[in-house]
Every structure is written in structure tokens, then in C-alpha cells.
A and B are shown apart, each in its own frame.
Chain A
Amino acid sequence: MRIDQNFTEELIARAKRKGANAVDVVAVEGDSASVQVRLSAVDKLSKAQEKRLGLRVYFGGRSAGGSTSDFSPPAVDELVATTCALAEAIVEDPDSGLPESASLAAERPDLDLYDSSAVSMDQMIDRATRAERAALEVDPRLKNSEGAEFGSFAGRMVFANSHRFYGEFQSSNFSCSVSPIAIENGLMQRDYWYSVGRKVSQLNAPEAIGREAGHRTVRRLGARKVATCRVPIVFDPEMAGSFLGNLCSAVNGYAIYKGASYLIGRLGEKIAADNITIVDDGRISGGLGSKPFDGEGLPTRKTMVVERGILKSYLLDTYAGRKLRLSSTGNASRSVGEASSAGATNFYLAPGSATPDQIIGSVKRGLYVTELIGFGINLVTGDYSRGAVGFWIENGELAYPVEEITIAGNLKDMWLGVETVGNDLVFRGRVASPTVKIAEMTVGGD
């Protein structure tokens, strides 16, 4: 059964016959495939076709959601019946409901999100094998591997609601990653590198991914702890992206209205250093977070979240907007069958002018962070404490690798304390940042 406008209209009509006064439908379907190669031999192959249908019904302010992977008429009947029954058990919430009909997306811009080129299993195996081989050739100490992976996904997303909105778009995703292992003196280190894109042609060459993975892994050999101290911290772009991701969670409208963010009530105030400008842009051509309309059918757009240090906007869908007496920013994100939530599209820190070398060169004694582990972030207070891996900076140069240390501070102070933003912004995911230098944090070690 193909999900099209007739199907969604019929489904919405059925829910309305059960008494729902508003309804929306989300459906996704797609094909995915992945291969994993380890030490030049195929380790795993996986292939799938998936589909899922979600329904959300509103009886006045009472709403509920349901979903199924079975599209047969009896299963769809059951979906309608169960979801409507669920809504009746729920409490009235005056802020719930669909967005205003007039605000729904009128156009469906083509954002170049879909690549129809099929990559065969054999081609996928070839790319993963080349990437891993290139990684292991970087240095003789790279003697083992967790493997290399190539994955692809191509699918279609459909959204419709009882305001007669119907929209659909196709998207695809390709990725290649390698995780080699270096061994020296009986001790092992692992790192990885990857490339991801909407189109196969946007991926870096397997050899380039492999060389970077090999380089990143071998440079970790001989890592040691450092003494507990307070020093400047430089985040490489990947880890700066993780740090930016924390801010992205803190500006989420849901965290804000629930009182679960350290940024509540701060709109229009200075929350970061003057060199910080953060943007969410759902319409970047080919962007990994781009979509023509959001999970409620509203147009996606470009939102200035932070401008020269001033908090300009939260990320909102209709519901969080109503709770905060603000308008949706077109950031509704949907899981099939679930209520809308707010989420970033392409969320990035605008680049500065310093090169990464200049940034590292400006540090007399400090830490360059290339990996963070753990979940030690309290968004309510902004308290931040994570395990870190990286390099000790001595007189402006990377002196030696370090591990088994922590870095700690508070997100509020960290963002106000950003001294330099690098010029090296590259979109490698939906959240992207250039290199960032923070004035001072606590390093926990020996």
C-alpha cells in the first residue's frame, strides 16, 4: 500500500468520524543498507526496507498518538480506534492542537536532499575496504581495526493534516567511516574518522577518510595524564560541535518552558562572548538537517539563535511556542506516532577568522580536546564535567597526547569565555562548529 494523498485524506476522515476535530499523519518509508569490513574481509552486511505510519488525533485539547508498521486495512482500522481511545483517557491541555492553517508551508522548495544513484553491495564493500586499507597503511603501529563501514539510506517522508496540508519529500544519506587501532608497548588506542552526505558524490574519497582515521589514531599512542589545573581549552571542530550541541539542547523550547534549561528567561540578554553568532537554517541546499517543511507542515527557515553574544531566539514548534507566548520557528521535529517536539535543522556557529594553528599557537599552556566521553552535563544548572582525550599544548604547540582526564566548568561561563572562533567550519552533521578556544576550565587529572 503506497502512502499518498488519497490514503492520508481517507485516514484523516476516518479519525474525524470517530470524533477527532483535528488530525495529522506522518509516514516514512525507506531502504537502507550497510556493510562492515574488518581487516579487509566482509564482517557484516545488512539490508532492509522499512515503513511506518503515525497518526495523531485531537479531541479538543486532548490528544494522543499511535503508530504501526502494518499498513493493512485491519491494522490501520485498529490504529485509528486505539489512538482515539487513548486521547479520550488524556487530560485537556489548552495549548495543544495543530498550527494555524494560514501559517502552513505554501511552497515546497527543492533542497537537493535526494540522490537516486544506487550503490551496490559490492561498491559499498569496495569503498569500506579501501578506506580501512588506507587507514592501516598510515603507520606500522596500526595493526588492528574495529572495521570500516559504508551505509546508505534513501526514503520518503509524508506529512498531512486536517487543515488539508499534504507534503512529501525524498531524502537520502550516505556515510563511510573507519575505526583503526594502534598498538605500542602492549597498549592500544582507537579513534575514527568519517564522511557523511546526502549524495554519494559529496563523500570524501575512501582513502582520504582512511588516512585521517589512521593519523588521528596513531597520534594518541603514549597518552598520559596531566596534573589537575586550570588552563585554556581548545575544542577541535568535532568537539566544538558537541559543545554547540549542548547549547542547542538548552535553547530547545521544551527545555525552556519546563524550566529545564539554564537559559530560561534570557531572550535578549548576553549569554555568550561577542564573537558568538549561532544560526539554525533549515533550508541549506543539500544540508543534512534541511527539510522543505517541518514536522507540523510549517515552512522551515533561517533563525538567528545568538547574534554577537545576545540570545535572539529559542528553537520552537507550535506547542512550545504557545507555552512561551511566542511563534513557532519552524523547528517541529517528529518521530512517527509521537507528538511534535522542537529540534535543530542545520545548527551552526558562524566561523571567525583565526586558523586552527593560530588558535593553538596562542596558548602557552593548555589542552586541545579531540574527544569527550560521558554524560556529565546538567542543562538545568549548566554544570559541565566530562571525560576528555586530546593533546597538551605547550608554548603554542601540541606537545603530547593526554587521556584519563576530565574537563569541568559551567556552560554559562564557557560560552561567555569563548576567546576565539576558528575559520574552519565544515558541515559534517546537523550541528557544526569551527575550532573554539575557551579562556579557562578545570582539568581534573593527577
Chain B
Amino acid sequence: MENEKGAKKEYLEEFGITSREVQAVMGKVKVRDVDYADLYFEHTVAESVSMEESLVKRASKSISQGVGVRATAGEKTGYAYSDEISVRQLEQAADTARYIARSPAGEGQVPAISVGRPSRDLYPVGQPATEVATKEKVSLLQKIDALARAYDPRIKNVMASFSTEYKMVMVANSQGELVGDLQPLSRLQITCIAEEKGQRQMGSYGGGGRAEFGFFFEEGRWEHYTQEAARQAILNLSAGDAPAGPMTVVLGAGWPGILLHEAIGHGLEADFNRKKTSAFSDRVGQRVASELCTIVDDGTLPFRRGSLNVDDEGTPTSRTVLIEGGILRGYITDKLNARLMGIPLTGNGRRESFQCIPMPRMTNTFMLPGQSDPHDIIRSVKHGLYAVSFGGGQVDITNGKFVFSTSEAYLIEDGKVTRPVKGATLIGSGPEILKKVSLVGNDMRLDEGIGTCGKDGQSVPVGVGLPTIKVDEITVGGTQVA
């Protein structure tokens, strides 16, 4: 029933349009000099409930729908969108989209629409979380507040929010393909503020995925998120100043995989490489990491935040090897860039919403596990930093310099993890940093499911993962000069 996700007729009906109308509009866009055209229909229901000061006092629900019409001609893209889904609006958008081709208006020849369906369902959901009673979300947030405050009397405020969306998309293209998908996504985010002797600190944690509301109650997840946020806030009360300068850094498993996302992931997006504006341009086949490093982007992991059955151009997602044994193997692509570069389509064409042009974007990006015992990795460090949790990161893809900032880190002294240090930014060079990876742990873990990646003003959900790794040298941006 609801899970008959491919059942195209239903998608067309849901969007109130017929396959004949879709074909007619496509004919208007795909005029002579247009290589490719597509229509992206979206209907999203989003709900957010939040708590602070022990009161679940904010809630909002939004419905947005619309359609984007795209035409590409050579390297050019024309795009128009409207929040009204009607043939009249579509035809108007089609006029704008094909403007780039500068061809006269007319009827392009397009094949009849044939309806496909994703070959798998990575996130079958019986009842989307948007349809779960708000009272249940309120009750969860109240339990979180109580648990966090019970963790330690120094926890003075707890802010928690549950946000969920249920997105229905349908993509039709000028090759006559039409495919739809239903994409649930939920996230629970908790921030605790701890106070002691007039000094305050915070800790944040959370998780989620393309899953049902029940996900947060399985395997003690909400309790774990809550305790982690509280623990981090309390821990940071005793954090000392972070060191400044080059150091050996051990990155913990899981979320520290943000290193891969910033240091190499963005630089391997095909658009930058087609334009040769990336520090990784023309480097396929070259060594960009130590032989211990194999890194993949995989959009096919069940229930993960970064996963998709089909990308936002209707291409099935896949597992793409980016770096194998240290050698750069390939880029992640969308249709435009795969065609222009003559390289494989990887199913990474993503967009934030119908208001946005798709671009090559990451899905779940992680390093495969190595052989080392994580404890041995720490024991191998005489003086260094052990970083287990991070805030955000950023990269300049052109010169390759990237940063990411710790939110939980410790000094390593004589092979032992000693005292916690305050948050510091780590900075390095993407094409160089992974060459300095000298040990890779056997404990690869994916993050909890809270990552959001920004590019060109568009935000999309992503995942990262990492085993414990040792980086021989990276610049640590603390305040303490040795």
C-alpha cells in the first residue's frame, strides 16, 4: 500500500498531473539545442517540536510543494521553479528554462513517459514520524529533560528538538523516464548547559536517520544521546586550554569522519573537477593518501541519513570508491558533469528542494576499517591530541585547505589519554593530510545521523564514518603556545 513506492500512477495522481501533461511540458522544454531536461516535483511535510527550560513550548508544521523545470544545453543550465503545480505554471517555467538554449519555441520530440520504480527500498516506513501524534514527541522531549538533569546537578538547562520531514518526490526527464520516491527523515538534537562556580559550558549530541519514530526508542538511543550531551557539557567544565601548533592527532571513530567530508569529499565533487577549480583536479590515479586509506561514498546504506533510493535526478544511488589504498579512483557525479566529463554516473545529483538546481553532493562518506587496535593507536603517541567529537568543518576546494573544530578532545601524554582540552580548530591541506595517516583502526563506525552539508547555499543531509586513525601531523589551533 503506502509502501508501493514505485507505483508511479500514484505519484502522478498525488501531484495532480498526468503522464501526457508531463510529456507535453517536456516537449516545450526540450527544444532543438537542449540536450536534456527534467521536471522535479516535491511535496514535503515538516514538523519540529522543541523544548527548553523544561517546557516543550514550540512546535511548527509546514507544507511546501512545488516543481522545478530544468534544461541543459552544453555546459549551460536553465532553471525555473514554481510553488504552484499546474500545467500553466509548468509551461511558463519551461519558457524560462529553455531560454539558455536560445532556440525558438516549438515542440521538441520527447519519448512517451515510462514509469519506473526504484529497484529497492532502503527506508521502508510504515508510519512516517510526521504522522505520529505530537503528544508523543512532547513526551519524549520531557523525558530527555528529566534524564539530562538527573545526570548531574550541574546541568542547568537542556535544549532539545525533534524535527522530522516526509518528502515525496517525482522526477521525470526528457529520456522518458519517471520515478518517484518517499523520503522520511528525522533527527533528535540535544544541547546541555552545565554551570559550576560561575563558569558555563555546553555539550551537544544527537542522531537520526530515514527511520520511523520508534528508531529513537530502540537500543537506548534517546537515552544515549541525552547522556552524551550531558557528559560532554560536564567534561568541558574541566577542559584546559588547547595547544597551538603542529601535533600528532588521533581521531576517534564515527563523527570525526567529517575530516574525510571536508578534506577530500568536496574536492572530489565532479563539478569542481570539470571546471578544474579543485585541488584534486586531474589527479585520478595519483597517490593522495597513505596506502592504509580506502574511502567510499555510499548512498545505499539502509535507513541512513545520507542515503537515497534514487538521487534528485532519479538515478539510483551507489557505492563509489573515491580512494583505494591511497590512490585517487574517481569523482562523484550528477548527470550534467558525468556527461560533460565522460565519466560514470554515480547517483550523487542532489538538491535541497525544488527551488534548487542539482549538483554533485556526497551521501555517506567513510573510510574502510584497517588492522590496528584503537588502544594501540593511542599507545603509539608520545605527545598528541585525541579528538573524539567535532562541530562543523569547512573547506576551500581550490587551495585544498580545510578546517574542522573539536568539541571533545584530550591530550595524549606518553601513550595515555590524560586531560580534556577546550575546542580548537584543526587545519590542514586536503591533498596532503591523508598521506600522513600512519595507523587505521579496526573499529570503523558511522556517525549517529545528524550531519548537514552546505554547498552553494543548498543544505542536504549527509553521513560520515571513520575508524580510529592516527594522523602524524596536523596544525592544532588552540591558544597555548608550547
Give complex CA distance A400, B19 in Å.
61
Do residues A70 and B65 form an inter-chain contact, with CB atoms below 8 A? yes
Can you list, as one digit per residue, whether each of B69-86 has a CB less than 8 Å from chain A (1) or not (0)? Answer: 000000111111111100
Given the contacts A65-B59, A144-B275, A442-B244, A48 and B423 also touching, CB distance less than 8 Å: no
Can you list, as one digit per residue, whether each of A91-119 has a CB less than 8 Å from chain B (1) or not (0)? Answer: 10100100000000000000000000000
Given the contacts A45-B79, A381-B201, A387-B425, A91 and B56 also touching, CB distance less than 8 Å: yes
Residues of A within 8 A of B477 (CB): 376, 385-387, 405-408, 442, 444
Shortest distance from the beta carbon of A218 to any chain B beta carbon, whole Å: 13
Shortest distance from the beta carbon of B297 to any chain A beta carbon, whole Å: 23
Shortest distance from the beta carbon of A362 to any chain B beta carbon, whole Å: 23
Give complex CA distance A93, B59 in Å.
12
Highest count of chain A CB atoms <10 Å: which of B93, B404, B405, B422: B405
Residues of B within 8 A of A386 (CB): 403, 425, 477
Residues of B within 8 A of A48 (CB): 80-82, 355
| Smallest CB gap from B60: residue in A | A65
Interface presence of B443 (CB below 8 A): no
Give complex CA distance A43, B78 in Å.
8
Interface presence of A230 (CB below 8 A): yes
Do residues A442 and B425 form an inter-chain contact, with CB atoms below 8 A? no
Do residues A43 and B62 form an inter-chain contact, with CB atoms below 8 A? no
Which residues in window 322-341 of A have CB below 8 A to B? 337-339
Describe A's contact surface by its main secondary structure: strand
Which residues in window 172-215 of B have CB below 8 A to A? 191, 193, 195, 199-202
Residues of A within 8 A of B82 (CB): 48-49
Number of A-B contacts (CB under 8 A): 261
Shortest distance from the beta carbon of A264 to any chain B beta carbon, whole Å: 8
Residues of B within 8 A of A90 (CB): 49, 56-59, 134, 138
Interface presence of A51 (CB below 8 A): yes
Give complex CA distance A82, B133 in Å.
12
Shortest distance from the beta carbon of B208 to any chain A beta carbon, whole Å: 20
Residues of A within 8 A of B96 (CB): 45, 47
Interface presence of A399 (CB below 8 A): no
Do residues B398 and A337 form an inter-chain contact, with CB atoms below 8 A? no
Do residues B277 and A42 form an inter-chain contact, with CB atoms below 8 A? no
Stretch at the interface among B1-9, B218-226, B388-396: B388-396
Do residues A86 and B242 form an inter-chain contact, with CB atoms below 8 A? no
Do residues A376 and B403 form an inter-chain contact, with CB atoms below 8 A? yes
Interface presence of B465 (CB below 8 A): no
Interface presence of B452 (CB below 8 A): no
Do residues A69 and B79 form an inter-chain contact, with CB atoms below 8 A? no
Do residues B202 and A89 form an inter-chain contact, with CB atoms below 8 A? no
The contact of A375 among B84, B244, B394, by CB within 8 Å, is B394
Which residues in window 115-142 of B have CB below 8 A to A? 133-135, 138
Residues of A within 8 A of B434 (CB): none
Do residues B404 and A374 form an inter-chain contact, with CB atoms below 8 A? yes
Do residues B475 and A406 form an inter-chain contact, with CB atoms below 8 A? yes
Which residues in window 423-482 of B have CB below 8 A to A? 423-425, 427-429, 475-482
Describe B's contact surface by its main secondary structure: strand
Do residues B478 and A408 form an inter-chain contact, with CB atoms below 8 A? yes
Residues of A within 8 A of B100 (CB): 42, 45
Do residues B157 and A43 form an inter-chain contact, with CB atoms below 8 A? no
The contact of A46 among B134, B357, B399, by CB within 8 Å, is B357
Given the contacts A376-B403, A385-B424, A444-B427, A45 and B478 also touching, CB distance less than 8 Å: no
Give complex CA distance A119, B310 in Å.
38
Do residues B83 and A51 form an inter-chain contact, with CB atoms below 8 A? yes
| Smallest CB gap from A446: residue in B | B246
Which residues in window 374-432 of A have CB below 8 A to B? 374-376, 378, 380-381, 383, 385-387, 389, 403-410
Residues of A within 8 A of B379 (CB): none
Do residues B403 and A189 form an inter-chain contact, with CB atoms below 8 A? no
Give complex CA distance A378, B79 in Å.
39
> How many residues of chain B have a CB within 8 Å of chain A?
82
Interface presence of A237 (CB below 8 A): no
The contact of B138 among A75, A89, A181, A260, by CB within 8 Å, is A89
Given the contacts A47-B80, A376-B477, A408-B477, A64 and B59 also touching, CB distance less than 8 Å: yes
Interface presence of B245 (CB below 8 A): yes
| Smallest CB gap from B157: residue in A | A259
The contact of A69 among B65, B246, B427, by CB within 8 Å, is B65
Interface presence of A139 (CB below 8 A): no
Given the contacts A69-B83, A91-B57, A442 and B75 also touching, CB distance less than 8 Å: no
Given the contacts A188-B279, A444-B244, A44 and B357 also touching, CB distance less than 8 Å: yes
Do residues A146 and B244 form an inter-chain contact, with CB atoms below 8 A? no
| Smallest CB gap from B159: residue in A | A258
Residues of A within 8 A of B58 (CB): 63-65, 90, 339
Give complex CA distance A380, B404 in Å.
19
Interface presence of A66 (CB below 8 A): yes
The contact of A381 among B63, B133, B157, B200, by CB within 8 Å, is B200
Given the contacts A374-B403, A376-B423, A385-B478, A445 and B245 also touching, CB distance less than 8 Å: yes
Interface presence of A228 (CB below 8 A): yes
The contact of B83 among A50, A381, A409, by CB within 8 Å, is A50
The contact of B60 among A44, A46, A66, by CB within 8 Å, is A66
Shortest distance from the beta carbon of A169 to any chain B beta carbon, whole Å: 21
Interface presence of B306 (CB below 8 A): no
Do residues A403 and B401 form an inter-chain contact, with CB atoms below 8 A? yes
List 19 extra interface pairs beyond A79-B63, A85-B134, CB under 8 A.
A48-B81, A63-B57, A63-B58, A75-B63, A82-B61, A89-B135, A187-B399, A188-B279, A189-B398, A223-B399, A230-B481, A258-B157, A375-B391, A376-B477, A404-B401, A405-B477, A442-B480, A444-B478, A446-B246
15 A-B pairs in the complex with CB atoms less than 8 angstroms apart: A46-B81, A48-B81, A48-B355, A63-B57, A63-B58, A66-B62, A69-B64, A78-B63, A144-B277, A260-B202, A373-B396, A374-B392, A385-B477, A387-B425, A406-B244
Q: Which residues of B approach A to under 8 Å, CB–CB?
A: 47, 49, 52-53, 55-66, 75-84, 93, 96, 99-100, 133-135, 138, 156-157, 159, 191, 193, 195, 199-202, 242, 244-246, 275-277, 279, 355, 357, 391-396, 398-399, 401-405, 422-425, 427-429, 475-482
Q: Which residues of A approach B to under 8 Å, CB–CB?
A: 38, 41-52, 63-70, 75, 78-79, 82-83, 85-87, 89-91, 93, 96, 121, 144-146, 181, 187-190, 220, 223, 225, 228-230, 258-260, 262, 337-339, 373-376, 378, 380-381, 383, 385-387, 389, 403-410, 442-446
